[in-house]
């Protein structure tokens, strides 16, 4: 690796499994000290070794902080621990989310509230505390910090029967623009990383997954010859977190295999 994040501290939510885990491992390989946050330390799939332990086993620096992003006190404790252990918060990846695929008529009040609590209110709590910490830091090469919200291609279109999820991710897209506009003058860079259809399953389940109607639709809709993998997000995330990203802010970077190209 190039050690493009050497000396930086990165807080990553939802980092025990999937996209968050892949980004955490890559950031550590690039030299960052990583604060891993999730509601459980154990991965839901893709191995049994917790993310922070995997980073440490590879010679990197990592700390796990358990917490639910929809609880403001948990978010405060996450950032307090990051500052206590590493002294600064240079990069935040606002990734924690849950997934639901229902039409408006199928969406219950309970499922709406739970999805919005995590996918949108949780991102608000994390973004607010991230901005607060970064505002108190001295700029390094004109930048006080970098916030990366994880949105989705579904936040930019009206995907069939993804009502609450698409509404929440649309909120993330505009939250990113708003924060970039409000805090650019303070040297804070804010962007969103927008995954396309990512197979977040055990490798052994991919054959079964290909038989699922929604995945078959995604394959037919994606110009690239395969669907995405969590590792596909790591290179773009490193760019947004690194000093190569100096005059790019307020953007929703699509990593979707060309889905949104037509």
Are the C-beta atoms of 255 and 196 separated by less than 8 Å? yes
pLDDT of amino acid 204 = 44
CA–CA distance, 226 with 228 (Å, rounded to integer): 7
Tokens of 184: 């650019």
Are the C-beta atoms of 135 and 184 separated by less than 8 Å? no
Residue 13's φ and ψ, nearest 5 degrees, are -90, 155
pLDDT of amino acid 205 = 53
pLDDT of 125-177, one tens digit each? 999 999 999 999 999 999 999 999 999 999 999 888 899 999 999 999 999 99
pLDDT of amino acid 216 = 84
Strands (E), the chain: 9-13, 33-38, 61-66, 91-94, 145-150, 188-195, 252-255
pLDDT of 189-237, one tens digit each? 999 999 999 987 654 455 555 557 778 888 888 999 999 999 999 999 9
Domains of the chain: 9-261 (3.40.50.720)
Per-residue pLDDT, averaged over 83-111, amounts to: 96
pLDDT of amino acid 159 = 86
pLDDT of amino acid 217 = 84
What count of residues does the chain have? Answer: 262
Say which DSSP state 16 is in. Answer: S
Please give the model's pTM, rounded to 2 decimal places: 0.95
CA distance to 30, 118, 160, 224, per residue, from 51 (Å): 15, 21, 34, 29
pLDDT of 13-53, one tens digit each? 999 999 999 999 999 999 999 999 999 998 887 678 999 99
Who has greater pLDDT, 37 or 1?
37
Strands 33-38 and 252-255: unpaired
Active site residues: 165
pLDDT of amino acid 209 = 54
């Amino acid at each position: 690796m190039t050690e493009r994040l050497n000396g930086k501290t990165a807080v990553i939510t939802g980092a025990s499994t999937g996209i968050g885990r892949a980004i955490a491992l890559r950031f550590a390989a690039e030299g960052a000290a990583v604060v891993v946050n999730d509601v459980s330390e154990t991965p839901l799939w893709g191995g049994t070794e917790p993310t922070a332990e995997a980073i440490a086993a590879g010679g990197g620096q990592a700390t796990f902080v358990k917490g639910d992003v929809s609880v403001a006190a948990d978010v405060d404790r996450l950032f307090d621990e990051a500052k206590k252990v590493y002294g600064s918060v240079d990069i935040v990846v606002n990734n924690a989310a849950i997934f639901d695929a229902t039409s408006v008529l199928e969406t219950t009040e309970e499922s709406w509230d739970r999805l919005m609590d995590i996918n949108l209110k949780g991102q608000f709590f994390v973004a607010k505390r991230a901005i607060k910490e970064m505002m108190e830091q001295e700029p390094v090469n004109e930048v006080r910090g970098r916030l990366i919200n994880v949105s989705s291609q579904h936040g930019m279109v009206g995907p069939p029967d993804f009502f609450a999820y698409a509404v929440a991710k649309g909120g993330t897209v505009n939250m990113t623009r708003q924060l970039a506009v409000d805090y650019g003058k303070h040297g804070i860079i804010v962007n969103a990383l927008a995954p396309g259809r990512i197979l977040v399953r055990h490798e052994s389940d991919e054959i079964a997954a290909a038989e699922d109607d929604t995945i078959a639709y995604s394959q037919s809709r994606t110009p690239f010859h395969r669907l995405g993998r969590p590792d596909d997000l790591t290179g773009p995330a490193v760019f947004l977190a690194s000093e190569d990203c100096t005059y790019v802010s307020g953007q929703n970077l699509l990593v979707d295999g060309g889905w949104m190209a037509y």
